[in-house]
Structure 1
């Protein structure tokens, strides 16, 4: 199969930091165009709209959509109607209904749709899944705390309705949780802290249980300075398991587990190429469903205003 002619839509920080380097190193793809309101990519045609890009470069086979989730549905819908395979950055959409609609449309049009969850491809995740599947889990505690000013400086969209707020990083933890737990997990109660001047939460505390009653507690906070924390701690019949730094490290019973090198986004593009070649889609909405449940079940607490 010849290389897949790929276009990238939304040339921002995540596209430059992760997508472009991963595409460049993957022989299954040739980057042939970009569309973005502000950013450009050197060495290829650049456009301000996806429509203009499709008209000028009809050989595009697939697109990677890297714009904020509030704008992703319309772009994905347009691309699928044009017969393009679609890679969705996380979260795959602003609502569950949007993503389900896109999945149905992709199936109807015979193109691949990939709802990507990069944290699932962290080095320690598969080993953690195997360990938890072989032992009795007594409890799980997620601590996902970071500094929003460092990771999302001056990004107003993330504080708007549909921008997810602290669930933008928190959904990474939920994507890992839903992948490594051997039984489904459900939110039983939640508290969401909203700055008085924002439409999205800056912190969240989730109380969950698995289908067999295993307690799961998740703490998300965007106000942490200094060392950042992205850990999942499981107490099990075979000792304590800790996924550290977003899954880049893993300890079991206090001993470090040997892991492969980090390659989250390269693995995502390998997965996308495989889906396109085999005419399949991968659209798991479980992490986004938990976010929606948290907004539905959560009590709201208002805290001091947030200013960048």
Structure 2
């Protein structure tokens, strides 16, 4: 009989009830949703009733004590990723933690070390890696079609896309704004396609020009009087292998498109834009643009959750690894530090994993 993964959910907000729980249910008999915890009792009970989850708790510590679990999804604000992950790994659970890994590099390092010590899977919710465009382009890259990838451009821009729900504009709970929320997705996608090179130096600037005043909201009305994060971040990252990335991300900016999420890669044998996928090469004395005639439709989140479940059941390495999480956290925190200091920041070489 096929083993069933007993899963617990930490945090009963939108990402849990709209993404994690429905996609776990699509896994059928492979998954049993056994428990959910949230500091707000009513939220946990409401989600549990909606999805027939038998056990509810207001603390994950009590959940781990009273319910035997194999794995957990951590769907809390960023500030609580670290303590929840450490507790889950200590309790012997595999962990899928929503992005970003943590609030600090030290937290990300300790999470990675705890995962290794516990012998459990620790992975992060970077669902764009599972996009058909990314998977196809990765095959081109692995086949040498783009050659040495030495430059990239990362874009995660919204015209007026400040979230009007949740805690996305609360720096204390989230650690930042668009850089750590949406920019991190495209940054991770670029790094993944580039082979996750080790970062060397970052230079970043942040702005708070539109979020702290009333304005048109395309994603609901936000609490502009308590807006404590950046509304735009820009930066440059260099890597120890000589590669570089230019990054631009915003919740709100005076640009044409309402929402643009993209990665551009440049190699010595070819380049590409990822969304939509278009590959640029020089062959047979001609410059060529290559586009796929067909790509399958895919629910990135569903693939992410299915693959996490399979990794847990089959003891295979997940697509997103803890060491990659540390590199990503180094870059994010380095960009914020650089913006605060007004100068480039050298990434520490002392990665303790």
Task: Provide the residue aligned with 2:60 in structure 1.
Answer: 50
Where do 1:15-34 residues align within 5 Å? 15-27=16-28, 28-34=30-36
Task: Provide the residue aligned with 1:250 in structure 2.
Answer: 277
TM-score if structure 1 supplies the norm length? 0.83
Identify the match of residue 185 of structure 2 among 151, 172, 177.
172
The change in CA–CA distance for 1:3 and 1:198 in structure 2 (over 3 A counts) is same
The change in CA–CA distance for 1:29 and 1:201 in structure 2 (over 3 A counts) is same
Quick check: 1:88 aligned with 2:59? no
Structure 2 Cα separation of the partners of residues 138 and 73 of structure 1: 33
Task: Provide the residue aligned with 1:228 in structure 2.
Answer: 259
Structure 2 Cα separation of the partners of residues 221 and 190 of structure 1: 13
SS of 1:124's equivalent? Answer: helix
SS of 2:138's equivalent? Answer: helix
SS of 1:98's equivalent? Answer: helix
Structure 1 Cα separation of the partners of residues 80 and 169 of structure 2: 12
The change in CA–CA distance for 1:188 and 1:48 in structure 2 (over 3 A counts) is closer
Q: How far off is 1:115 after superposition?
A: 2.6
Q: Contact conserved, 1:68 with 1:163, CA < 8 A, in 2?
A: no
Structure 2 Cα separation of the partners of residues 148 and 227 of structure 1: 7
TM-score if structure 2 supplies the norm length? 0.74
SS of 1:298's equivalent? Answer: helix
Structure 2 Cα separation of the partners of residues 238 and 138 of structure 1: 11
The change in CA–CA distance for 1:215 and 1:289 in structure 2 (over 3 A counts) is closer
Where do 1:130-209 residues align within 5 Å? 130-133=139-142, 134=144, 135-136=146-147, 137=149, 139-146=151-158, 149=161, 152-156=163-167, 158-161=169-172, 162-167=174-179, 168-182=181-195, 184=197, 186-194=200-208, 198-209=227-238
The change in CA–CA distance for 1:173 and 1:101 in structure 2 (over 3 A counts) is same
Q: How far off is 1:289 after superposition?
A: 2.0
Unmatched segments (≥5 aa) in structure 1: 302-308
SS of 1:259's equivalent? Answer: coil
Identify the match of residue 74 of structure 1 among 75, 78, 83.
83
Structure 2 Cα separation of the partners of residues 132 and 82 of structure 1: 39
Quick check: 1:3 aligned with 2:14? no
CA offsets 1:233-265 (integer angstroms, 9 cap, x no match): 234555552111xxxx31224443232322322
The change in CA–CA distance for 1:191 and 1:300 in structure 2 (over 3 A counts) is farther
The change in CA–CA distance for 1:61 and 1:188 in structure 2 (over 3 A counts) is closer
Quick check: 1:260 aligned with 2:260? no
Aligned alpha-carbon RMSD (Å): 2.7
Unmatched segments (≥5 aa) in structure 2: 213-225, 281-288, 343-353
Task: Provide the residue aligned with 1:306 in structure 2.
Answer: none
Identify the match of residue 274 of structure 1 among 307, 310, 335.
310
Structure 2 Cα separation of the partners of residues 211 and 110 of structure 1: 30
Q: Contact conserved, 1:140 with 1:232, CA < 8 A, in 2?
A: yes
Q: How far off is 1:186 after superposition?
A: 4.4
Q: How far off is 1:147 after superposition?
A: 5.2
Equivalences, count: 295
Q: Contact conserved, 1:8 with 1:34, CA < 8 A, in 2?
A: yes
Q: Contact conserved, 2:202 with 2:237, CA < 8 A, in 1?
A: yes
The change in CA–CA distance for 1:300 and 1:130 in structure 2 (over 3 A counts) is farther
Moved over 6 A (4+): none
CA offsets 1:1-34 (integer angstroms, 9 cap, x no match): 4211101111111112211121010132111111
The change in CA–CA distance for 1:53 and 1:182 in structure 2 (over 3 A counts) is closer
CA offsets 1:42-83 (integer angstroms, 9 cap, x no match): 212322222333344x23221111001101222222222222
